[in-house]
Structure 1
Amino acid sequence: MTLYKEEEFLQLSGIQHFAFCRRQWALAYIEMQWQENVRTVEGKILHENAHDPLIKEKRGDLLIVRAMPVHSREMGVSGECDVVEFHKTKEGISIAGREGNYSVVPVEYKRGKPKTDDSDILQVAAQALCLEEMLCCVIPYGYIYYGETRRRTKVEFTDEVREKVTSSFREMHKYYDQRYTPKVKTGKKCNACSLKDICLPVLNKKKTVSGYINEVIFEEDNV
């Protein structure tokens, strides 16, 4: 098994952008281009509240840790978990300075509502895989909290989800090492992308021969 060095780590949160659009991820994380829109600003505010390291909670047998740094040498990623809950159970991991055993549950915070794609699911699953590697445990599920609905959605970390996370990071490392920004098919989701003005998705559309000829004729007629 190949283990990545720390200087080779990618940002864990990038998997959400990669799942939404490989080109968006490459523009933001390889070419280092970014533009904020209403969605990214609102999301940043929500995450700042979730990541406040001054807020530490203990509710009976529940311990809540915010802004917990995580990493995986196997996947070559690092980042932060919005919230990690440690539930006291009969079976689980031990925590220094605390009695008993605890199960581990990551909780990711999102501004909107549940998406039709699996980008949010892959992000919280990636956090779980990092936590499993770091804490030597098994995490069967986690949650995504959506600010618009103010509800949690439970996410089961199935074998299929785990494989998609690891294969995504393998592909991301390949693109990053090659400094390659892929082209993608355009669609309705491009309108909601904060990088649409940089990406210029219309330029990725393949022109037909007839379309090209019509453009040339139009330009000549208007000279």
Structure 2
Amino acid sequence: MYSEDDLLMISALQHLLFCPRQCALIHLEQQWTENRLTAEGRILHERVHTAGKESRRRLKTEFDVPIRSLQLGLIGRTDVVEFHLQDDGNWVPFPVEYKRGRPKKDDSDRVQLCAQAMCLEEMLDRDVPVGALFYGQKKRRVEVVFDQALRQTTIETAARLHALFAAKITPPPQYSRACESCSFLETCLPHTAGTRDKVSKYMNKVVSS
């Protein structure tokens, strides 16, 4: 159980799974650089967050909902939470997270959404079994079931995030194809990672000789 002072941003989970170094640059070093992709994503979220609220007979929609979990040690805001009226008279929360691009092969988006669901469960004392990711490029929803495996991955990722913050160390750069779309490409300089290692080894050799 975490205290209110220990809460970290839910969005950092997605950053951590995409790249631990990017996560540390943003959330530990408080750096930010923007490219076309991040700008488009920011504009998409701003539009969603200013949409207000909607209500129909069996559906209520809330935008930009503040959430937190003391169990996970996380805090943030949802893009959308739909409340679906069930036959038994209960309203079931259904979180929806908006993403600029297309579905990813990794779990980063699903973990972020699952964390939102777990926050809602803790706050509302109500099961949240499913939610959705809306991808702007495809303009369609992808339903996400919050099964035990995804919940466990979310718990472990939150623990890793807290460990990163406790260590207060920014991981070194490691190049991958994903680096080419990262807004930190020119700041991080992942292409030089191998060169840095070689220089470091050479200098250690010189000093010890």
Partner residue of 1:194?
183
Runs of 4+ in 1 over 6 A off after TM superposition: none
Contact 1:22 1:184 in 2 (8 A): no
Instruction: Indicate the larger mover: 195-204 or 143-152.
Output: 195-204
Where do 5+ consecutive residues of structure 1 fail to align?
92-99, 213-223
The RMSD of aligned alpha carbons is: 1.8
- Pairing 1:76–2:65 present: no
Partner residue of 2:96?
107
Aligned-pair CA distance for 1:113: 1.2
- Mapped partners of 1:113, 1:208: distance in 2: 37
Partner residue of 1:47?
45
Aligned-pair CA distance for 1:90: 2.9
Partner residue of 2:205?
none
Code of the aligned partner of 1:155: V
Give TM-score, length-normalised by structure 1.
0.85
Please tell me whether Structure 1 or Structure 2 has the larger radius of gyration of its CA atoms: 1
Which residue among 144, 148, 161 is the counterpart of 2:137?
Answer: 148
Q: How does 1:7-156 map to 2 (within 5 A)?
A: 7-52=5-50, 55-91=52-88, 100-156=89-145
Code of the aligned partner of 2:138: T
- Mapped partners of 1:203, 1:5: distance in 2: 40
Code of the aligned partner of 2:67: V
Where do 5+ consecutive residues of structure 2 fail to align?
203-209
Give TM-score, length-normalised by structure 2.
0.90
Which residue among 175, 183, 194 is the counterpart of 2:172?
Answer: 183
- Mapped partners of 1:178, 1:18: distance in 2: 14
Q: How does 1:184-223 map to 2 (within 5 A)?
A: 185-205=174-194, 207=197
Code of the aligned partner of 1:49: R
Q: How does 1:153-164 map to 2 (within 5 A)?
A: 153-164=142-153
